[in-house]
Chains A and B, each alone.
Chain A
């Protein structure tokens, strides 16, 4: 019996969510007395693979076929199926990322396991806690049976890394063209050098209060100084001031960074639904009645054009101190 975790790679490097999912799986394995095995799909360096030991993984299965560098739903499911067989997995853990959301349901159906999506913590008495109603409530899920596929919400579980080293075995996965359900013809990088929004720990977001797209320079400067990712409210994406992939909120991307700074965003309920799980929320708005202040930890009532450059300067000083 074992717990198998899919540790995701991007561009040959393990992602942060790989360690997060592995640490969660490690906690789960400890609860049940099961072995912990990780599987890595596609190109990855030997050092990277062994480093999963830091999250408590003893054994890593590596399917190094470079056609697995990028996910397609059926090729990854087939590879994960091979790994689950090799590991004798009774529980499979994935991140609730674009990969996990796609593969977890397929593998659950294929292996007739119960799928528990988007959990936020290790189970207590067999019950998993999950955020529901766009962060406005918790649901406690009681899955049927003990054969489970679990996806872990990114940036919600706290984990510490040790200094273990995992042993690596290669995993043979026979892939033919028909194992790829679609063809990825092109990949466009939209991150502009920033951490992608769903993974970002620090986010600086702005809205209509900025008055026009030409005024985003001060937002980008603050984000740049903090090492944060930029985001925006829906109206701003809809009128084309900012790209759609920056839109956070109920119908855009839901995020839960450690710090969310909202500048010139009033805080409509749909916007809050996408950001209310952030650990710390800062609101800067010239309207003291802006509803966002009710959901904030810190607030400044003031003109963004005066306040934001001061913040950038203060961050610069902090970094140099």
Chain B
């Protein structure tokens, strides 16, 4: 129980941060892509707002949970996840602070509550900021596809993390993130699909 509890906020962050919208940009051609190249591309992402659909498959439940809403990202460190269906929930991460507002009230939590989790945040922040070296220190990285259609698979190097988290796969087109797929070792899975930006 303890390790799962410890790692939980990590998953939380992954699901949050990897859902970041990316700027749509027309790319001519499909040059071969490497990790540094992708990082460079990601680093240019400005503030954006996108719609998402998140499907959570949890072993405890007989049917998956499907959440819909919008995702907002403002450089350098503000993320908002607004769930509109099936219930209303507003979640804001600003730096170290997580604020969760539901009908029942508002809760504030210090996200960054474990060195392990911190390293994950660093990984996500680093990928957005284009800091390859930080990412490499924490993850085994595999990049597939082309700039037009890429897939970045992160597997935790840390044994403790690997015990809980199987992989995080980010997919995208150009500097746009289209999906985040988080797989836990226990079989639970969260797939977040990111649609067109809110106009």
- A, B from the same assembly: no
Residues of A whose CB lies within 8 Å of any CB of B are: none
